[in-house]
Amino acid sequence: MTIARSQRAFTLLEALVALLVLSVGLLGMATVQLESLRGAHAGYQRGLASLAAQDAVELLWSRLEAGRCPDLGGEAARWEARWRAWIPGLRGRVEPDGDDCTYVVTLEWEASRLVDESETSFVYTTRLPGESP
């Protein structure tokens, strides 16, 4: 059985179109995979930031004495340095907010590894029992 010359060219064209469709599909799958990795990495960093904020609150609780609001002093810098090894570009602050032993833990870090955002932040507010000195 012989295939006409025009039919052979049409079969080649069908193969090229199929290859193009397959390439576009694979590119789409790769894009979905990359977006999934970005989301997972951002979630991982946000989880670490949440742990760091909780660690700061536990540090405040450990310094609470006789109903007086704690002052972290130089301990806040050590806390930040400890977490900087886990969260790249971390800048953390633990600041009192008012006179009722309320503290605001603010963490900012660079999430530019896989995420389009250049900087991400996390704010955690807590209130301890006690009075201002």
Rounded mean pLDDT, 11-29: 93
* Whole-number Å distance between alpha carbons of 108 and 92: 6
pLDDT tier for residue 89 given thresholds of 50, 70 and 90: confident
CA gap 30, 49 in Å, rounded: 29
Averaged over 69-93, what is the pLDDT? Answer: 88
Q: How confident is the model at residue 38 (pLDDT cuts 50, 70, 90)?
A: confident
> Is residue 102 helix, strand or coil?
strand
**Whole-number Å distance between alpha carbons of 84 and 87:** 5
Give the model's pLDDT for residue 7.
Answer: 65
Q: What are the backbone angles phi and psi of residue 120, rounded to the nearest 5°?
A: -125, 150
- Name the E strands within the chain: 91-96, 102-109, 120-127
Query: Kindly report the CA angle at 50 between 49 and 53, in degrees rounded to 5?
Result: 85
DSSP 99: S
Is there a contact between 49 and 106 (Cβ–Cβ < 8 Å)? no
Q: What is the average per-residue pLDDT within 53-82?
A: 87
